[in-house]
Structure 1
Amino acid sequence: MSDPTRTSQSTRHATGPAGAAARTPAAAVAPTVRRPLAATARALIAAAALTGLALAVAASPDPPRLLADFAVQANLAAALGFTVSAHRAWSGRRPVSPRLTGALLVFLSLAALTHHLTPPSDTTNLLLTTATPFAALADWLLLTAPRGFRLPYAWQWPAYPLLHLSLTTLHTSPPRPSSTTITIAATACLLPLITIAIDQVRPAPRLHRNRISPTGISPLK
């Protein structure tokens, strides 16, 4: 199979404009494709996560303890991840790896589900446990190409939630009911499988409506 980044022996020694064009990889002259709608949506998701975190800190009598809360951790990761993703969509750079975006989606969804499976805690504001997870879900379904998730992610994504669950179960007072712990663990294991399965069969969103091509050679505007 030919490598598009390499030049043939006949063009390697060519001179002048024709030789320079022949030696330029195709990827280097591809038009930049910007997605301002996706960038704006992801910036808003990051802002929602940061606002939820700020409200949680303001309402908590012991802000440092918030760092041990899974919903706080998930939203902190989402704020960083969606900020980077928004910048890449706006500048036309390559998207963030599906391995990372899928992990954020699973973490936020698990935080939302856990909120309804366990008694209320200090971090119960709707931005952390409802608004940000639903916004991330909408971004995935409406602004992300399908079939980016791979089956190995199904055992990679639950690793941290299960580790966090085991640590918090040992240090929670009063102890969390065993039935609740089992339910959360099962959800952490099944949610990635469900997410990957949906990603394989969901229709592709009409992403071309959200793109801007800086040149006139691309049909995508």
Structure 2
Amino acid sequence: MSDPTRTSQSTRHATGPAGAAARTPATAVAPTPRRPLAAAFRLLLSAAALAGLVLAALSTPSPAHLLASFTAQTALALALVSSCSAHRAWTGRHPVSPRITGALLSYVSLAALLHQVLPHLLPAAAPSAFTLPATAPTATGTGAPARALLLAVVPLAALADWLLLTAPRGFRLRHVWQWPAYPLLYLCFALTLPAATGAPSPHLATALTAGLTACLLPLITVAIDQVRPSPRLHNNRISPTGISPLK
């Protein structure tokens, strides 16, 4: 059986424009279909993240401390990347690198998990800028909607985007040690400069739990991505991948 990724002897030694076209992989010239549904969903995801940040800013007395919180930083990055990804899906361009989208997925999931699970594991642990967004000290006014958007709606929407609108097996094993770099650096920042985050320094048990979760989440995400089924993505290809310039 022939390998479609390899070229024949005649194609390999061909010269001129015809030879260059024959040696070009089909995936490099095949048009990427437009995906308006994915574009609309990612635009809504970006809007939800920005709305959560605006509501959080209205409920906190110190916007500087809001920008220093882990949840606010990841939500802002997710909003920007989701907007770019929506534009690429609408115009039929290649998607954003899985290294970036996977990292943001693990970051927003990390913030949500620590916020939901940590109080049950460590009831005596004090809130910190790493585990909580530090945007709504009370659950009144705009604080409760901000928490709901940033710690529930946005992570679930990012998870749905990954599972339902993204092709599987895009994450690589090297991402397992690349993605935890930012959460671990932020954890060191929160431990050494708690005044800059506007929250007390995390206790040892809280820091260990956050660090361990930050390291395990990428591993679990990459493992699930390798075995999950492919979603039914719209495809406009009319012929299989090949090396011929007529494909």
**2:216 alignment partner in structure 1:** 190
* Local SS of the residue matching 2:39: helix
Q: CA RMSD in A?
A: 2.8
Q: Does 1:127 align with 2:149?
A: yes
Change (3 A) 1:109 1:28: closer
**2:245 alignment partner in structure 1:** none
Change (3 A) 1:34 1:174: closer
Work out which structure has the larger RCO, using CA pairs closer than 8 Å and 6 or more positions apart in sequence. Answer: 2
Change (3 A) 1:202 1:27: closer
Residue 189 of structure 2: which of 161, 167, 181 is its match?
Answer: 167
CA deviation profile, 1:172-208 (whole Å, cap 9, x unmatched): 3543221111000000000000000011111111112
**1:179 alignment partner in structure 2:** 205
The answer to whether the Cα contact below 8 Å between 2:7 and 2:23 also exists between their aligned partners in 1 is no
* Aligned-residue identity in percent: 58
The answer to whether the Cα contact below 8 Å between 1:107 and 1:161 also exists between their aligned partners in 2 is yes
Moved more, 107-116 or 81-90: 107-116
Change (3 A) 1:30 1:102: same
The answer to whether the Cα contact below 8 Å between 1:103 and 1:157 also exists between their aligned partners in 2 is yes
* Local SS of the residue matching 2:55: helix
Change (3 A) 1:7 1:88: farther
**1:8 alignment partner in structure 2:** 14
**2:177 alignment partner in structure 1:** 155
Q: Amino acid of the residue matched to residue 83 of structure 1? A: S
Q: Residues of 1 paired with 2:163 and 2:79: CA distance?
A: 19
What count of residue pairs does the alignment treat as equivalent?
A: 206
**1:113 alignment partner in structure 2:** 113
Residue 165 of structure 2: which of 143, 146, 152 is its match?
Answer: 143
Which blocks of at least 5 consecutive residues in structure 2 are unaligned? 1-5, 120-126, 137-146, 241-247
Q: Residues of 1 paired with 2:64 and 2:39: CA distance?
A: 31
Where do 1:1-221 residues align within 5 Å?
1-2=6-7, 8-9=14-15, 12=16, 30-116=30-116, 117=118, 119=127, 122-123=134-135, 125-172=147-194, 174-208=200-234, 213=236, 217=238
Q: Residues of 2 paired with 1:174 and 1:40: CA distance?
A: 39
The answer to whether the Cα contact below 8 Å between 1:111 and 1:129 also exists between their aligned partners in 2 is yes
Change (3 A) 1:30 1:176: closer
The answer to whether the Cα contact below 8 Å between 1:71 and 1:123 also exists between their aligned partners in 2 is no
Q: Residues of 2 paired with 1:176 and 1:182: CA distance?
A: 9
The answer to whether the Cα contact below 8 Å between 1:42 and 1:86 also exists between their aligned partners in 2 is yes
Normalised TM-score (structure 1):
0.83
Task: Kindly state the Cα deviation for residue 217 of structure 1 after the two structures are TM-superposed.
Answer: 4.9
Task: Kindly state the Cα deviation for residue 81 of structure 1 after the two structures are TM-superposed.
Answer: 0.5
The answer to whether the Cα contact below 8 Å between 2:78 and 2:104 also exists between their aligned partners in 1 is yes
Q: Residues of 1 paired with 2:220 and 2:238: CA distance?
A: 40
Task: Kindly state the Cα deviation for residue 29 of structure 1 after the two structures are TM-superposed.
Answer: 5.9
Q: Residues of 2 paired with 1:102 and 1:151: CA distance?
A: 12
The answer to whether the Cα contact below 8 Å between 1:42 and 1:139 also exists between their aligned partners in 2 is yes
Task: Kindly state the Cα deviation for residue 171 of structure 1 after the two structures are TM-superposed.
Answer: 2.7
Normalised TM-score (structure 2):
0.74
The answer to whether the Cα contact below 8 Å between 2:190 and 2:201 also exists between their aligned partners in 1 is no
